[in-house]
Amino acid sequence: RKEVEQDPGPFNVPEGATVAFNCTYSNSASQSFFWYRQDCRKEPKLLMSVYSSGNEDGRFTAQLNRASQYISLLIRDSKLSDSATYLCVVNLNTGFQKLVFGTGTRLLVSP
Amino acid sequence: GAVVSQHPSRVICKSGTSVKIECRSLDFQATTMFWYRQFPKQSLMLMATSNEGSKATYEQGVEKDKFLINHASLTLSTLTVTSAHPEDSSFYICSAPGQAFKGKLFFGSGTQLSVL
C-alpha cells in the first residue's frame, strides 16, 4: 500500500463549481499534513497546511480525519486558474525529514 | 522571500555523459537540501538529503555512486548524474526548508533531464 494515496483524476469541472479531493495515508504516526499545488513541470507550492480542527483559506477548505487517516481539500467557486495538480503531502515526523508526496490529483477547470 | 535557484532548467545529453544540476539558496542559508525525482504522472520521490559539511543521506534504492551529491556551502548543493542513461530521464527538483519550517519547503524550479 502506498504511503499517501490520491485519485489521480482528472477532475473536469466548469468555472464556479465546487470540487473536493480526498487523500488517505497509511502511517498512523504521521504528524502533519499539507496540500501543495503543482503546475505542469513546475515546482510544487504550498497551498495550505491541514489542521485537525479543519481550516479555511478563502475558497479552499482542508479537513483532517485522523481516525480514518483521511485528508480532504474542498475548492469552492472554481476559477480557471485553479487548474493544476494538487498534491497531498504527509510529514512522518515533527521536523522536515520525511515529507511524503502523493501522486497528485489533476484538476481541469473549463469556461 | 526565500528563493532557491536551480539550473539548468533543461538538459538534453547523450547517453554516457554526466550532468550537474545546481541549487542555490538565495537570501537564506540552507543547511539541508532535499533532492527529488519525478517521472511523468508520478509523485515526487525523495532521492537524497544533502547536509552542508557532511555526507548525503540516500533513500533506499538510489545509487549513491550514480547520483553524486555535494553540499559544499550553506548556499550551494549540487547533484551530478554520472554516466546518464535514457532511464535517468526525469524531472529533478531540489528544495530546502525555511528556518521556521511549517510544511513550507522552498523549491527550485526543477531540471528536466532528457538522455538520448
What pLDDT is recorded for position A95? Answer: 60
- The DSSP line for chain A is --SEEE---PEEEETT--EEEEEEES-TT--EEEEEEE-TTS--EEEEEE-TT-EEETTEEEEEETTTTEEEEEE-S--GGG-EEEEEEEESSSSSTTEEE---EEEEEE-
Give the burial string for B90-99 (b: 16+ CB within 10 Å, else e): bbbbbbbbbe
What pLDDT is recorded for position A41? Answer: 81
- The A-side interface with B (CB below 8 A) comprises 4, 8, 32, 34, 41-46, 49, 87, 89, 91, 95-97, 99, 101-104
Q: Which residues of B touch A30 (CB under 8 A)?
A: none
C-alpha B22: how far from chain center = 7
Asked if residue A11 has pLDDT above 90, the reply is yes
Nearest to A25 by CA among A51, A48, A47, A4: A4
Lowest mean pLDDT segment, chosen from A38-47, B14-23, B77-86: A38-47
Substitution target in A26, A34, A41 with the highest count of B β-carbons within 10 Å is A41
Q: Which residues of B touch A32 (CB under 8 A)?
A: 103
Residues in B 42-81 with any Cβ partner in A closer than 8 A = 42-46, 49
Asked if the Cβ–Cβ distance from A45 to B107 is below 8 Å, we say yes
pLDDT tens readout for residues B10-24:
999 999 999 999 999
Q: What does the DSSP 8-state code read for residue B59? A: P
| Better-scored residue on pLDDT, B97 or A107 | A107
Asked if the Cβ–Cβ distance from B44 to A44 is below 8 Å, we say yes
Residue count (chain B): 116
Q: Which residues of A touch B44 (CB under 8 A)?
A: 44, 87, 101
The C-alpha angle with vertex B109 and arms to B96 and B77, in degrees rounded to 5, equals 45
pLDDT tens readout for residues A76-106:
999 999 999 999 999 876 565 678 889 999 9
pLDDT tens readout for residues B4-54:
999 999 999 999 999 999 999 998 888 889 999 999 888 889 999 998 888
- Where does chain B show beta strands of DSSP type E? 3-7, 10-13, 19-26, 32-38, 45-51, 57-58, 67-73, 76-81, 90-97, 105-107, 111-115
Query: Environment class of residue A76 by beta-carbon count within 10 Å: exposed (0-12), middle (13-18) or buried (19+)?
Result: middle
Substitution target in B3, B44, B106 with the highest count of A β-carbons within 10 Å is B44
R_g over Cα of chain A: 13
Q: How far apart are CA B7 and CA A20, in angstroms?
A: 35
User: Strand pairing partners for A31?
Assistant: none
Instruction: Say whether residue B101 is in contact with chain A using an 8 A CB cutoff.
Output: yes
| Better-scored residue on pLDDT, B78 or B53 | B78
Asked if residue B65 has pLDDT above 90, the reply is yes
pLDDT confidence tier of residue B105, bands split at 50, 70 and 90: confident
The answer to whether the CB of B116 falls within 8 A of the CB of B12 is yes
Q: Which residues of B touch A92 (CB under 8 A)?
A: none
Q: Which residues of A touch B49 (CB under 8 A)?
A: 97
The answer to whether the CB of A57 falls within 8 A of the CB of A48 is yes
